[in-house]
A and B are shown apart, each in its own frame.
Chain A
Amino acid sequence: MSAVPDSGFAPWLAPPPAAAAPDWLEARRAQARARVQDLGLPTSKEETWRYTSLTRLLAQGFVPAAEPGTAVSPRDLESLLIPGLESHRVVLVNGRFVPGLSLLQDLPPGVRVAGLAAVLKSDPDALKERLDALTGEAPPFFTALNTAGLDDGLVVLLERGARLDRPLELIHLSVGTDEPRVAQPRFVIALADGAQASLIERYLSLGDALHCTNAVAEITLGRDAVLNHQRIQTESANAFHLSGRYLGLGTASRYQGIDVGLGASWARSDLRARFAGEHAECDLQGLYLAGERQLMDFHLDVDHRLPHCTSRENYKGILYGKGRAVFDGRVLVARDAQKTDAAMTNRNLLLCEGAEVDTKPQLVINADDVKCSHGTTVGQIDPEQLFYLRSRGIHPALARRLLCLGFAGEILDALSPSALREQVAEEVGRRLEQAPLG
């Protein structure tokens, strides 16, 4: 075990300078610090870090973003909004909730959306039971780091039967500062029984800022609750992005997640789903592009410990230049989890010889009456399809782009509403246009 002071993450462990936190939170942070020390830096000897090196991340010398929110004007934000997207909006700048940029006046009854720091201040014990409820006793390294530095983020609570009338759009904006900063927002999202919501999470940077995001979300769904969760990461080409997502799915609840990873130089995403009741559904879709010097690294861990639950994983990637991607999907079916229905696919399109993907689907099945499948493909553009398009007069570059968009279409089509779908499709098209294809 390497000593953390040498690891480069020591500054992340310094207690946040914010106003006095409740005792229970101080205790959690101390625990998390101890956990980080115990774990030491993840190395390639660990299965989940086998293909991904921290060297580049460490070399940047990120330090926690100290001062609350660099000034961002409404005009700065304006250019980042999606035309035609009607939403309740929450804006965080460098990990901190900025009420002045948010738009939360018309929330329907039974829905509470508030900054995490503000909740800790106004109602110090409100999050005591919820925080860390899903990350568990032994959180992974970067989740423990997030907890150690925890001081802001967002709390979204829907009471029993509450419904969001339009999507909640969470914009996490990173702004460059004098030195490379890490923002570690924490999201606590809980839908009580029968509640329904659509959440659009967007990660953006102003300009080509060099920064790091280490976000952790804990998402709890009560009985029959439905959450549609779309996560669109388009951070700057200099950014480092870490995401930890923890799902607790109650009886007959439904989680539909779409993970779109387009931006950042180095992006790592971990998702852990746990069924807490039967007949729940967890549907995970993803789309990633990795170009020159870009890494997209996804780890999905779905644990079927109860019977009669369904999970779907469908991730698609397009790689070009010297882009790299990792897909590590693990589905565990416990001995008593009969009638589990689980399917996992990961398809990749490699456009250049220098691009690379490591795909590792794993099914561990300990029950005998289940329906489980997995499949992965790594392929190139089909020359027959390319010729067909060219024979109709379409230039090879556009033909390749059309075929890539066709490949991505399955995931893009699942995005909603149409304003979001069109914006993301355009962004994918724009990136492919600049890509050195072939």
Chain B
Amino acid sequence: MLSVKGLKAKVGEKEILKGLDLEIGRGEVHAIMGPNGSGKSTLAHVLSGREGYTVTAGTVTFEGHDLLELAPEERAHLGLFLAFQYPVELPGVNNTYFLKAALNAIRSARGEPELDAVAFMRLMKERLKVLHLDDSLLKRPVNFGFSGGEKKRNEIFQMALLEPKLAILDETDSGLDIDALRIVADGVNALRSPERSVILVTHYQRLLDYIEPDVVHVLAQGRIIRSGGKELALELEEKGYGWLGAEEAA
């Protein structure tokens, strides 16, 4: 589904990703762990098409497409979704209107008919129920005035609605209390299917207690330095990143 080969990327003059390789198969859940400054968020941003990064080498293939050639919205149309570490507030932009615009943009890009207001509301209500979310969320401006936990839950709600093929969760667990963490985890687990893959970018092992990954990668200094099963996360928890020679970046 996703194949990253020898990816190098810079922010300004500073090289952050230094030859990263990653293969993600259909239906797999991968955790990418690593110390601060290792390049975890940069990877998530480069995959989603955010401006401000220069790719200097390597390739990224997603569902047979050269991902790096595509605009952010085209990546979303192919089924890529990024749950932001810091979801952006959109004052005055109604959440329902936003979600409908997003879903219908993706549907029409896939050649599916747009949903009318009634069908859309039905779908939203259904997804809210699965995630145990309150529908007052829908009437408010996107993320505006939301608490940290509400913002993260809104990201998961969008994911549930847009049904991506590959969801990248960028430190979605950071700053969440245990209840919010559970809601996020339930959302991801509900979405798990043989058709859908997930990348969990996280600093802590905690999230992996709730979402069991198939593969755990350790990212340090711009490269994947170790990959293994879920027991690798437990080892990291116990011994810290230093054990792998992956000290915090200077």
Contact = CB atoms under 8 A, between A and B. Distances in A.
B97 to A, nearest CB: 7
B92 A407 contact: yes
Contact of A391 (B48, B101, B109, B141): B48
Interface in B50-86: 50-51, 71-73, 75-77, 81-82, 84
Contact of B84 (A388, A407, A410): A388
A410 B76 contact: no
Interface in A393-412: 393-396, 398, 402-403, 405-410
Contacts of B158: 392
B46 interface: no
A384 B88 contact: yes
B90 A393 contact: no
Given A387-B50, A388-B84, A402-B98, A393 B76 contact: yes
A398 B93 contact: no
Contacts of A390: 49, 71-73, 76
Contact of A405 (B50, B93, B106): B93
A393 B162 contact: yes
Contact of B73 (A383, A396, A408): A396
What DSSP secondary structure best describes chain A's contact surface?
helix
A385 interface: yes
A10 to B, nearest CB: 48
Given A402-B97, A406-B92, A391 B162 contact: no
| Size category, A interface | 20 to 34
Contacts of A387: 50-51, 72, 88
A137 to B, nearest CB: 44
Nearest to B98: A402
Contacts of B72: 387, 390-391
A361 B86 CA distance: 35
A133 interface: no
Contact of B92 (A383, A384, A392, A408): A408
A389 interface: yes
Which residue among B50, B71, B81, B162 has the maximum number of chain A CB atoms within 10 Å of its CB? B50
Nearest to A382: B88
A25 to B, nearest CB: 48
A406 B95 CA distance: 11
Contact of B101 (A382, A388, A394): A394
Interface in B142-181: 158, 162
Nearest to A392: B102
Nearest to B106: A393
28 contacts: A385-B88, A387-B88, A388-B84, A388-B87, A388-B88, A389-B102, A390-B71, A390-B72, A390-B73, A391-B49, A391-B50, A391-B72, A391-B75, A391-B81, A391-B82, A392-B76, A393-B102, A393-B103, A393-B162, A395-B105, A396-B71, A396-B73, A398-B105, A405-B93, A406-B90, A406-B93, A407-B92, A409-B92
Interface of B: 48-51, 71-73, 75-77, 81-82, 84, 87-88, 90-93, 97-98, 101-103, 105-106, 109, 141, 158, 162
Given A388-B84, A388-B90, A402-B93, 12 more contacts: A383-B51, A384-B88, A390-B73, A390-B76, A391-B72, A391-B82, A393-B76, A393-B105, A396-B73, A398-B105, A405-B92, A409-B92
Interface of A: 382-385, 387-396, 398, 402-403, 405-410
